[in-house]
Amino acid sequence: MSGTSHTGFRLACVTETKAVKSEQTRALIVETALRLFRERGYEATTMRAIAKEAGVSVGNAYYYFGSKEELIQAYYDELQDDHVAACRAVLDAEREFAPRLLGVLKARVDTMIPYHEFAGKFFKFAAEPTSPLNPFSAESGPARDSAVAIYREVVEGSDLKIDKEFRAELPELLWIYSMGIVLYWVHDNSPGCRKTYLLVERTVPLVNRMVAMSRIPGFKSVTRELVGIIREVRD
């Protein structure tokens, strides 16, 4: 190996090592922040406290995350990544719409369960309409788009035969439906969030029937009117 090649190899190794360490530090800050949010509450936890607990300088913490809000966005992204991974088995195996939707929603609850106590304390901040932590905010856009993409896969990979315009809007409607499930889950004090799972199991067949009804001639005009309302409100 020539000297130039050897130097290039060493630089590549150093760069890779730094990248790995950087990702580990970032993950540690997120993990520490979530723990402190659970223990002390979101409002009472400062970036300085997070840095101290994580064993990094305050400047280093701000290098990775400019604010506590950015830490929550990182939490949203990680939770979304976990959900995508948890959905893979059912989306790869099922073609019927209802089982696909049921599996995806159950996986959503599965991935949220470890954060149930934190979600209860944090909800008042995420529910504030002007907060960047709100799931409908511009700041939450990447996580929201990723979530809608899952429901788009639910629809596109299924055997559904519905109006193409309604089909295009259905993923976002399913995401809004899932947000209703999340809201119920936040307030669910049943053991293991049993009632949330029950809500999913009982409502998915209803959603499936309503979607199927969109194919009935008498309901097509209603479905198209719904699509028009969705697009008008969005724009």
Within this chain, do residues 74 and 151 fall inside the same structural domain, yes or no?
A: yes
Using CA atoms, how far apart are residues 232 and 48, in angstroms rounded to an integer? 45
pLDDT digits over 133-174, tens only?
Answer: 888 888 888 888 999 999 999 999 999 988 888 899 899 999
Residue 18 has a pLDDT of 61
- Domain total in the chain: 2
Within this chain, do residues 112 and 17 fall inside the same structural domain, yes or no?
A: no
Asked, for residue 77, whether it belongs to a domain, the answer is yes
Asked, for residue 162, whether it belongs to a domain, the answer is yes
Asked, for residue 160, whether it belongs to a domain, the answer is yes
DSSP designation for 119: H
Domain boundary residue, one of 40, 66, 92: 66
Within this chain, do residues 76 and 53 fall inside the same structural domain, yes or no?
A: no
Q: How many CB atoms lie within 10 A of CB 138?
A: 9
Domain boundary residue, one of 18, 34, 66: 66
Within this chain, do residues 60 and 157 fall inside the same structural domain, yes or no?
A: no
Within this chain, do residues 125 and 169 fall inside the same structural domain, yes or no?
A: yes
Structure token digits, residue 139: 């700041």
Within this chain, do residues 50 and 119 fall inside the same structural domain, yes or no?
A: no
Using CA atoms, how far apart are residues 121 and 133, in angstroms rounded to an integer? 14
Does pTM surpass 0.75? yes
Using CA atoms, how far apart are residues 24 and 29, in angstroms rounded to an integer? 9
Residue 192 has a pLDDT of 93
Within this chain, do residues 114 and 90 fall inside the same structural domain, yes or no?
A: yes
Within this chain, do residues 84 and 191 fall inside the same structural domain, yes or no?
A: yes
Asked, for residue 1, whether it belongs to a domain, the answer is no
Within this chain, do residues 33 and 49 fall inside the same structural domain, yes or no?
A: yes
Cα dihedral 136, 189, 115, 85 sign: negative
Residue 56 has a pLDDT of 92
3-class DSSP assignment, residue 6? helix
Residue 47 has a pLDDT of 92
Asked, for residue 61, whether it belongs to a domain, the answer is yes
Residue ranges of the chain with per-residue pLDDT less than 70:
1-20, 218, 220, 230, 233-235
Asked, for residue 88, whether it belongs to a domain, the answer is yes
Asked, for residue 102, whether it belongs to a domain, the answer is yes
Residue 201 has a pLDDT of 97
pLDDT digits over 72-83, tens only?
Answer: 888 888 888 899
DSSP designation for 190: S
For residue 28, what are the domain limits? 7-66
Within this chain, do residues 93 and 158 fall inside the same structural domain, yes or no?
A: yes
Domain boundary residue, one of 17, 40, 66: 66
Residue 93's Cβ-count burial label (10 Å; 0-12, 13-18, 19+) is exposed
Domain of residue 23, CATH code: 1.10.10.60
Within this chain, do residues 212 and 119 fall inside the same structural domain, yes or no?
A: yes
Residue 165 has a pLDDT of 85
Asked, for residue 2, whether it belongs to a domain, the answer is no
Using CA atoms, how far apart are residues 37 and 135, in angstroms rounded to an integer? 18
Domain of residue 142, CATH code: 1.10.357.10
Within this chain, do residues 114 and 182 fall inside the same structural domain, yes or no?
A: yes
